[in-house]
């Protein structure tokens, strides 16, 4: 799961509810640690703004293996 | 590693007040918050100053740029503006109303104020205390009692760590990670529901009920046919002009049928709903959100050397003034405890006695008021057509408001019996409404 920074208002609800403690705050906005997230969707069901959304789990890895 | 006397996790009204009280008593305090800017408020909070005497066992007034706590004999500075609210208006889906006015002709039902300004004032005082260390962008994720005190586990963007102290204070709010880590949610509390919430702060609203606390009752106000909407004027950035309204919606989470997000419902309500005309010119100046878990309160807000204050211990929430008051009491109790070896029980005893929802009767009372939400929209429209002209007096206060509403509806019971006997029977069954039904957990 990843959080859309434009949608997130920084209420912190998902931060405390995340069972993996995978979410933290940078600059008053929530950020999900992609290596700790288990895609349990707790943040999706707790967000008033619809900010968390599914996207590729390991974008950096995918980019890394792209053909040169 | 430096060992602290008190580690306060969470710098909202409860945490700031606990840190301030303990710190000004000479204790070495560490105050943590996950936000970068502690006094800024990003969470929905439509809370007003609840002026009904006896709320949380206290009587709170606003006077001389301060919020005064009569019984506990302390005051906190508030340099922001206020808007005294003249009435509480409940609006049915078709626009019929039940209005509650202040107890006296010039009386108010509540005082609207700005939480962010209160936090700024408290934070300024905290920063003046040299004994208080502040760490921002640091989240408390857990706590353990140790033989000589506590260990609090921290997480930042850089990683995890821990810090030791003699006493820990869980002031990390309604979804408290510390309370969760102690296992108290599983063993001591009954879970009802999760609500997700969003709110808009808006200018240029054509509101026909100025200076009012407005509750939109019934399901017809939303596209997903569930949720509760509130609106009231709020001071903004220290002033009351131009007039800013806060519109808030809370929607119960039903995993199997997620429905619309609160933000989508707000957009619907302000553009297509029955009252969209109020919002034709409006400008959104701020958006906020929250996620709420409804639990019964902690029976004992103490676990070893961990003290739980504010919303972290409550049934959803204590009012902001309650968070400040319990923070003050917790800070005082910790000072006594670290000086004499006893004292934390003073705080626990006060919590048990004064927080209304520790009394199951109060949960019942509130539930019976929420019973309104299990009536059909046409029932509410009809009932509010009877109450339109009523002279009702009371306060904005979740503890007394359900009683006021029930009394008002019951004063029309004879007429309802004659015109709509089925509805009268339903009304009389209000007392049997369960908390789950009232919170619409089972409805999709």
Query: Cα angle at B33 between B31 and B39, to 5 degrees?
Result: 95
List of chain A residues with pLDDT < 70: 54-68
Q: Residues 6 or more apart from B202 whose CB is under 8 A from it? A: B244, B245, B246, B247, B270, B279, B282, B283, B284, B285
Question: What are the C-alpha distances in Å from B304 to residues B74, B161, B335?
Answer: 28, 22, 16
Strand, helix or coil for residue B345: helix
* DSSP SS3 for B26: coil
Residue-wise pLDDT tens digits, B114-151: 999 999 999 999 999 999 999 999 999 999 999 999 99
Q: Does A33 touch chain B (CB under 8 A)?
A: no
Q: Is A49 in contact with B157 (Cβ distance < 8 A)? A: no
Task: Give me the helices (H) in B134-240, please.
Answer: 177-181, 184-188
Cα–Cα dist B262/A47, whole Å: 9
pLDDT at residue B444 above 50? no
Read off the DSSP letter of residue B43. B
The CA-CA-CA angle for residues A12, B264, A4, to 5°, reads: 45
Q: Which fold has domain B194-294?
A: D-Amino Acid Oxidase; Chain A, domain 2 (3.30.9)
Q: Interface of chain B against chain A, CB under 8 Å?
A: 34-37, 40, 42-44, 137, 139, 141, 155-157, 172-173, 175-177, 180, 194, 196-198, 253, 255, 258, 261-264, 287-293
pLDDT tens sequence across B236-285: 999 999 999 999 999 988 888 888 999 999 999 999 999 999 999 999 99
A24, A49, B50, B335: CA torsion to nearest 10:
0
State the Cα–Cα distance between residues A43 and B385, nearest whole angstrom.
Answer: 41
Which chain B residues have a beta carbon less than 8 Å from that of A21? 139, 141, 155, 177
Closest partner residue to B175 (CB to CB) among A9, A16, A31 is A16
Q: Mind listing the pLDDT tens digit for each residue in B147-196?
A: 999 999 999 988 899 999 999 999 999 999 999 999 999 888 888 888 99
Q: What are the residues facing B392 on neighbouring strands?
A: B100
Structure tokens at B402: 């359900």
Say if residues B176 and B312 touch (Cβ distance below 8 Å): yes
**Closest CA of chain B from A68, distance in Å:** 31
Residue in A17, A26, A49 closest to B289 by CB: A49
- Give residue-wise pLDDT tens across range B160-171: 999 999 999 999
Enter the tokens of residue B241: 């002009």
The full set of domain ranges for chain B reads: 4-80+110-189+296-358, 194-294, 364-438
Contact by Cβ (8 Å): A25, A12: yes
How far does A42 lie from chain B, in Å, by closest CA?
A: 10
ipTM field: 0.84
Give the residue from B289, B308, B310, B312 with the most A CB atoms within 10 Å of its CB, the best one to mutate. B289
Task: Provide the pLDDT confidence category of residue B55 given band limits of 50, 70 and 90.
Answer: very high
Higher local confidence (pLDDT), B433 or B49: B49
Please give the backbone phi and psi of residue B299, each rounded to the nearest 5 degrees, phi first. Answer: -65, -45
Run of H or E including B338: helix B320-340
Q: What is the pTM of this model?
A: 0.93
Write out the two tokens for B45.
């909070």
Q: How many contacts, defined by CB atoms under 8 Å, are there between A and B?
A: 95
Burial class (CB in 10 A: 0-12, 13-18, 19+), B217: buried
Tokens of B227: 């949720």
Contact B439, B252 (CB under 8 A): yes
CB within 8 Å of A60: residues ≥ 6 apart: none
Whether A25 sits inside 8 A of B141 (CB atoms) is no
Asked if CATH classification 3.40.640.10 holds for the domain at B4-80+110-189+296-358, the reply, yes or no, is: no
Nearest CA in chain A to B196: A48
Q: Give the nearest chain B residue to A45 (CA atoms).
A: B253
Find tokens 């390991």 and name the residue: A58
Return the structure tokens found at B138. Answer: 């640091």
**Could you count the other beta carbons within 10 Å of the beta carbon of residue B400?**
20
Contact B21, B327 (CB under 8 A): yes
* A59 interface with B at CB cutoff 8 Å: no
Distance of alpha carbon B3 from the chain centroid: 33
Average pLDDT (B46-55) is 92
């Amino acid at each position: 799961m990843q959080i859309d920074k434009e949608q997130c208002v920084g209420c912190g609800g998902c931060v405390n509810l995340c069972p993996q403690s995978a979410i933290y705050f940078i600059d008053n906005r929530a950020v999900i640690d992609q290596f700790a997230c288990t895609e349990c969707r707790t943040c999706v069901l707790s967000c008033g703004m619809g900010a968390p959304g599914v996207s590729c789990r390991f974008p950096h890895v995918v980019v890394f293996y792209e053909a040169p | 590693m430096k060992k602290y006397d008190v580690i306060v996790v969470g710098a909202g009204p409860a945490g700031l007040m606990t840190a301030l009280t303990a710190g000004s008593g000479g204790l070495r305090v560490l105050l943590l918050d996950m936000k970068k800017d502690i006094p800024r408020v990003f969470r929905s909070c439509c809370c007003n100053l609840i002026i009904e005497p006896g709320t949380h066992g206290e009587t709170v007034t606003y006077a001389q740029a301060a919020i005064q706590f009569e019984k506990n004999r302390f005051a906190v500075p508030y340099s922001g503006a206020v808007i005294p609210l003249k009435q509480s208006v409940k609006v049915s889906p078709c626009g019929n109303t039940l209005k509650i006015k202040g107890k006296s002709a010039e009386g108010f039902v509540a005082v609207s104020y700005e939480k962010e300004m209160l936090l700024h004032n408290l934070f300024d005082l905290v920063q003046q205390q040299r004994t208080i260390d502040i760490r921002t962008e640091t989240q408390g994720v857990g706590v353990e009692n140790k033989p000589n005190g506590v260990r609090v586990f921290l997480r930042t963007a850089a990683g995890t760590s821990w810090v030791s102290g003699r006493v820990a204070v869980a002031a990390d709010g309604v979804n408290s990670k510390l309370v969760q880590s102690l296992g108290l949610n599983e063993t001591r509390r009954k879970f009802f529901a999760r609500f997700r919430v969003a709110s808009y702060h808006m200018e240029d609203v054509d509101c026909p009920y100025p200076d009012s606390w407005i509750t939109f009752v019934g399901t017809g106000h939303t596209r997903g046919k569930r949720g509760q909407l509130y609106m009231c004027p709020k001071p903004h950035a220290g002033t009351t002009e131009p007039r800013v309204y806060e519109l808030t919606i809370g929607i119960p989470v039903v995993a199997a049928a997620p429905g619309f997000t609160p933000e989508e419902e707000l957009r619907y309500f302000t553009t297509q709903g029955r009252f969209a005309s109020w919002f034709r010119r409006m400008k959104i100046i701020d958006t906020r959100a929250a996620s709420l878990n409804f639990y019964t309160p902690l029976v004992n807000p103490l676990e070893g050397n961990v003290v739980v204050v504010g919303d972290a211990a409550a049934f959803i929430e204590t009012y902001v003034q309650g968070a400040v008051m319990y923070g003050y009491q917790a800070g005082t109790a910790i000072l006594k405890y670290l000086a004499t070896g006893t004292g934390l029980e003073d705080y626990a005893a006060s919590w048990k006695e004064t927080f209304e929802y520790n009394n199951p009767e109060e949960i019942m009372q509130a539930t019976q008021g929420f019973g309104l939400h299990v009536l059909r929209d046409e029932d509410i429209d009809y009932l509010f057509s009877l109450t339109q002209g009523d002279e009702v007096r009371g306060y904005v206060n979740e503890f007394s408001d359900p009683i006021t509403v029930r009394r008002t509806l019951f004063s029309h019971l004879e007429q309802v019996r004659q015109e709509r006997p089925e509805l009268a029977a339903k009304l009389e069954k209000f007392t049997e409404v369960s908390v789950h039904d009232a919170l619409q957990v089972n409805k999709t």
